[in-house]
Amino acid sequence: MSALLSASRLHRRFGHLWALAGVDLELAPGARHAVIGPNGAGKTTLLNLIAGTVRPSSGRILLDGDDITATSAARRSRLGIARTFQTPALCASLSALDNLILGAWRHARPTAGQWRPGRYRRLAVRCLRQLDRLGIGHLADHPVHTLSHGQRRLLEIAVALAAHPRLLLLDEPAAGLSDSDLPHLVTCLRRLPAAVTVLLVEHDQALVAAVAEVVTVLHHGQRLASGTPEQVATDPAVAEVYLGTPPAGEGR
């Protein structure tokens, strides 16, 4: 098997609530995979389990064939899993550039001698170019708490990408974005390097349709459906979950 990430029978319980009750997920290298579902379906929990922020109650996660179920979030980041958070997680008092440098710090080659003088400066030059490419280069020395929500969202994706990840986890990148920011985000996501595998948790149908090749629908912590965006859109079970209309012949 050649899956980059393979999660099997993932369970996670919070008190009496099973946030995830046996979910399998396989991501091929370079995949563009979206996870959708109603609120409370377990989407973010799934993402947190893969990122290592939350540990599964049971189940296994393999990255490139290696078991990473018990690996810490920081170590997973160094193994090539980068993520964004539902509300952009950035260092508010630091500048946009410093945030980007801190994102790249543990991943820029050479990683040996990482406290050697001059390294920060070299990274700064590189990160500044990355900000310029994103179109927010003029904000490099602005403290993050002065940036707009849309700018923070872009910056956080840049911070995640600065780690040169193999797998990028995006937790509702469109949440809270204005209509004018959204096209910018879509462009940014479509321009992601083809080698980067993307797992996207999202509500916004337009974004999912524009970015994802495969969609998995979660409901009550279980996989309800999986397929191309078109297949999922026409799946009656999915329609029931989203629209509340039971298919003919079934009671509730």
- Chain residues binding another protein by CB under 8 A are 51, 53, 72-75, 77-78, 82-83, 85, 89-95, 97-99, 101-103, 105-107, 114-115, 119-121, 124-125, 128, 137, 140-143, 159-160, 163
Exposed, middle or buried: residue 120 (CB in 10 Å: 0-12, 13-18, 19+)?
middle
Please identify, using beta-carbon distances, which residue of 196 and 215 lies nearer to another protein.
196
Q: Which is nearer to another protein, 28 or 91 (CB)?
A: 91
Please calculate the CA angle 54-109-150 and round it to the nearest 5 degrees.
55
Beta carbon nearer to another protein, 155 or 232: 155
Distance of closest approach, residue 103 Cβ to another protein, in angstroms: 5
Q: Under DSSP, is residue 34 helix (H, G, I), strand (E, B) or coil? A: strand
Give 9 or 129: the residue with its C-beta nearer to another protein: 129
Q: How far is the CB of 28 from another protein (least distance, A)?
A: 23
Rounded to whole angstroms, the Cα distance separating 78 from 105 reads 11
Q: At 54, phi and psi to the nearest 5?
A: -125, 140
Nearest approach in angstroms of CB 228 to another protein is 30
From the CB of 64, what's the least distance to another protein, in Å?
Answer: 17
Structure-block tokens of residue 71: 């690996």
Using CA atoms of 232, 166, 153, 179 in order, give the dihedral in degrees to the nearest 10. -30
Question: Nearer Cβ to another protein, position 58 or 114?
Answer: 114
Judged by CB, which is closer to another protein: 22, or 137? Answer: 137
- In the complex, the smallest distance separating the C-beta of residue 24 from another protein, rounded to whole angstroms, is 24
Compute the least distance from the CB of residue 240 to another protein, in Å. 35
- d(CA 184, CA 229) in angstroms, rounded, equals 21
Q: Report the distance separating Cα 245 and Cα 242, nearest Å.
A: 8
**How far is the C-alpha of 5 from the C-alpha of 62, rounded, in Å?**
6
